[in-house]
Structure 1
Amino acid sequence: MEITLILLIVAAVSVGALMKSVFGFGEAIVSMPLLALLPIPLQTSVSLIGLAGLTVALLTVFSGWRHIERPVLIRLAVSTVIGIPAGLALLHLAPAIVITTGLGIFLIAFGGYSLFKKNLSRAIQRPLLNNPGWVLPFGFASGVLGSAYNFNGVPVVVYGTLRRWNPDRFRGTLQAHFLISGVFVVIGHALGGLWTSDAFLYYAYSLPAILAATALGVFLNKRIPAHNFERYLFVVIILLGMVLVFPKS
């Protein structure tokens, strides 16, 4: 196994862990396209990021526990579990080029949404989706995207924005959802045959970097103007999506 490949994998995973610990979400959005550019199977990348995301969630969930919106979290957990098998089926049945292209399109769409969501939030003067049932399709989408791409947090980010959660409720509920859904997603990966010896080996190599990146992210979260850094980061996400949609021949 080449040391260069291992270092690149560790770097991709640690950048994602830093993203999640600073902003509360997004490690797969950063790490998955970077890993897709490396010569490792997609299934290995998915299971690796699943393990890494669960690790970060375990390390960060307790700081926002008292701000969790528990009724929403319960509905999210139930509907997420229902969506996990659909995501696993998508991962096994769809050709790799379809998955990576779909991943790139999704990154471009999500990055564009994230860049303009502040204008959207200002335009919305009251919370939307007040009916408790609205959380169910977002939870289902979280299960599908989580088991297929490890993007289980993205639908919850959209839902929380439309509900106009305050920052503490947003971060606390999101981290708790990551912890619960992350456990189910990792179990789904195991039952779906995605776990490989390479994934665990890469995870073992990456663990010290994950711990360091999480500690650094918690430190930075309290000391940097996150809105500026976030804007630049979402531009990078869009560019990474373009790389996946328009790969070099």
Structure 2
Amino acid sequence: MSVTIITLVVVAVFIGALMRTVFGFGEAIVSMPLLALLPIPIHTSVSLIGLAGLTVASLTVVSGWRHIERPILIRLALSTVIGIPVGLVMLYLAPASVIMTGLGIFLIIYGVYSVIKKRIVKTIDHPLLKAKGWVYPFGFASGVLGGAYNFNGVPVVIYGTLRQWNPDRFRGTLQAHFLISGVLVVTGHAIGGLWTVDVLVLYGYSIPAILLATVLGVYVNKRIPAKKFESYLFLIIILLGVLMLVPRG
């Protein structure tokens, strides 16, 4: 790979890690589409962002540990384990064009949902999905999307929104889930043979950027009200989804 490609990959990883540290999630949602625009295999992108996400989770999980909803976290982990192999099979068997289209559609749907979710929450005067069993399909979806696209946090974000978690519980449980599911997803990638020399080299180049993004993200998170930037972030996600649907010659 050329120096230009390596630099662009590191920049994509940095932007994703920064989003993750500031907002509590979003590294794969931002980095995966950016990497998909570069001339590198989709399997390389998936493995690289899996490693990057696990690194960020390891650095940020401690701060919210006391706010974790542990029974929910255990159920999420159990159902995530079942979903990861399904996602890996999808990644192996689905043509790249199908993966790109699916990725684009998913980003658009999630971006639109995120933009309007505040209005949805305002109309709900009590938490939904009170039954304990609801956590299992969301955990399974987390495993499937984590194995295929590293989007393991998205179903948990939606679940936490419908349960109306307070900000501390939301962030703490989400970061703990990222750590556990990240270990499972990365292990699945390694066992599935997705790790290559290119993946490890790109990850090595990205480590300083990940560390810098984590420090900078913590600084920004403490001093700038992140909610003001959420709308812009989700609009960017929608735009990236549209770009994924543009045919490539």
What is the TM-score normalised by the length of structure 1?
0.99
The one-letter code matched in structure 2 to 1:223 is R
- Unmatched 5+ residue regions in structure 2? none
Counterpart residue number, 2:60:
60
Counterpart residue number, 1:50:
50
Deviating beyond 3 angstroms after TM superposition, the runs of 4 or more aligned structure 1 residues are: none
1:189 and 2:185 correspond: no
- Residues paired across the two proteins, number: 249
Counterpart residue number, 2:236:
236
Query: What SS class does the counterpart of residue 165 from structure 2 fall into?
Result: coil
Per the TM alignment, residue 222 of structure 1 is displaced from its structure 2 partner at its CA by: 1.0
Partner Cα distance (1:247, 1:154) in 2: 26
Partner Cα distance (1:57, 1:24) in 2: 9
Partner Cα distance (1:221, 1:241) in 2: 26
Per the TM alignment, residue 210 of structure 1 is displaced from its structure 2 partner at its CA by: 0.4
Query: What SS class does the counterpart of residue 229 from structure 1 fall into?
Result: helix
1:38 and 2:32 correspond: no
1:215 and 2:215 correspond: yes
1:111 and 2:111 correspond: yes
What is the TM-score normalised by the length of structure 2?
0.99
Partner Cα distance (2:244, 2:162) in 1: 29
Per the TM alignment, residue 248 of structure 1 is displaced from its structure 2 partner at its CA by: 4.6
Partner Cα distance (2:215, 2:179) in 1: 17
Counterpart residue number, 1:74:
74
Partner Cα distance (1:49, 1:196) in 2: 13
- Unmatched 5+ residue regions in structure 1? none
RMSD of aligned C-alpha atoms?
Answer: 0.7
1:149 and 2:132 correspond: no
Deviations 1:54-106 (A, max 9, x none): 00000000000000000000000000000000000000011010001000000
Per the TM alignment, residue 162 of structure 1 is displaced from its structure 2 partner at its CA by: 0.1
- State the identity %: 73
Counterpart residue number, 1:101:
101
Partner Cα distance (2:173, 2:96) in 1: 33
Per the TM alignment, residue 230 of structure 1 is displaced from its structure 2 partner at its CA by: 1.1
Partner Cα distance (1:246, 1:91) in 2: 20
Partner Cα distance (1:196, 1:141) in 2: 26
The farther-off stretch of 178-187 and 214-223 is: 214-223
Partner Cα distance (1:163, 1:195) in 2: 37
